Chain A
């Protein structure tokens, strides 16, 4: 665990933020703690525990549903409210990512804070249009997609907001892995709203390209206003081959990932046509 010299139990957000501000880059907040223990960073000398700051909750908020950043994936997977949200996709995946004992430890704030390229949760939250409630002496809200583009050191993720208005939409997450616990070679997530057989809104997100989660608005435009037909998805799949930036790493070549991009759209088509029937 590197050179951890201090483990600080913060009693409030103000307390935690003040401590982090005082110590600067040698301090890190503890979400579930899984990655902090696993991936030891020798530069971190103080851990700031947020578990006593009242951040373990799922509650209705004016913006939709708010999930406290210390809420575990297990709690999310069992929430009746989350099960009913956007077809229940987030609850479904929160109960299947990693494995049972880790899901009891991994927190939603922790995964966002770490935001590893192979992260399963973040792409789906971006597709759902989630926002983050941040605390840096005062509270503010910003889109999760913006937060992961420009992470702000020292800022505390207080909660995640799932926007209202997605009740009739369908969320979708596709992970290309060898086993459930394996790191994905590619992630694809979507939120699609439809009226009858016509799609009225869509968010499409690719991650693990191997880069971080990114929205592809031009692909979304290829679905909106179109019917749930094979031709629509085939056209978007062709567009995706040009638009989605993929690369090579130890896990896969860019060429292989490009084929997975096509497969992801095929899987979305099968999911959406199944939902609409």
Chain B
């Protein structure tokens, strides 16, 4: 028997009041309640990184975060990166570098990279690889993904 709780969280700049069961994950609430389908469910056990979002400045696998743990949190999903209806510089770099193949891992990759660039605008290739180590790409396009993050870093101050 689970109970329902009210959770207030700010997602992509908008405050949401969500009533949810205590055992639901943040991934589930983002996708099913808020309709933010860019956050993917891959392994659903914290290994693939497809569900990565930025919560209070940290990149986290949202499948391992209960929605109630996000009470009061500020969350950014892939949908929150667009600038004026256009892809962000990071997203654009993924396109230009051919870093998107099937695309399923891409939102998680982009969110991990965004968290890195916010903290460290000009990372080395090794630092990029470390930041993305929790994001798996079954198309194995890692080199182009690293290149895309490097390209995006050039536009950061």
Contacts and interface: CB of A to CB of B under 8 A. Distances in A.
Contacts of B60: 101, 104-105
A169 to B, nearest CB: 27
Nearest to A103: B134
B59 A33 contact: no
A5 B1 contact: yes
Contacts of B69: 7, 30, 33, 49, 51
B58 A37 contact: no
Interface residues of A, number: 28
Contacts of A102: 46, 61, 64, 134
Interface string B49-73: 1001000001111011110110100
Interface string A161-182: 0000000000000000000110
A1 interface: yes
A105 B23 contact: no
A99 interface: yes
Contacts, number: 82
B133 A74 contact: no
B25 interface: yes
Contacts of B59: 100-101, 104
Given A6-B3, A33-B69, A104-B59, A38 B22 contact: no
A3 interface: yes
A217 interface: no
Interface string B16-60: 000000111100000000000000000001110100100000111
Interface in A114-140: none
22 contacts: A2-B23, A3-B23, A4-B22, A5-B3, A7-B5, A7-B66, A30-B69, A33-B65, A37-B66, A38-B45, A51-B69, A98-B134, A99-B133, A100-B131, A101-B52, A101-B60, A101-B135, A102-B46, A102-B64, A105-B60, A105-B61, A105-B65
Interface of A: 1-7, 9, 30, 33-34, 37-38, 47, 49, 51, 72, 74, 95, 98-102, 104-105, 180-181
Interface of B: 1-3, 5, 22-25, 45-47, 49, 52, 58-61, 63-66, 68-69, 71, 112, 130-135
Given A7-B69, A99-B134, 18 more contacts: A1-B22, A1-B24, A1-B66, A3-B23, A4-B23, A5-B2, A6-B22, A7-B66, A7-B68, A34-B46, A49-B68, A49-B69, A51-B69, A101-B59, A101-B61, A102-B134, A105-B61, A105-B65
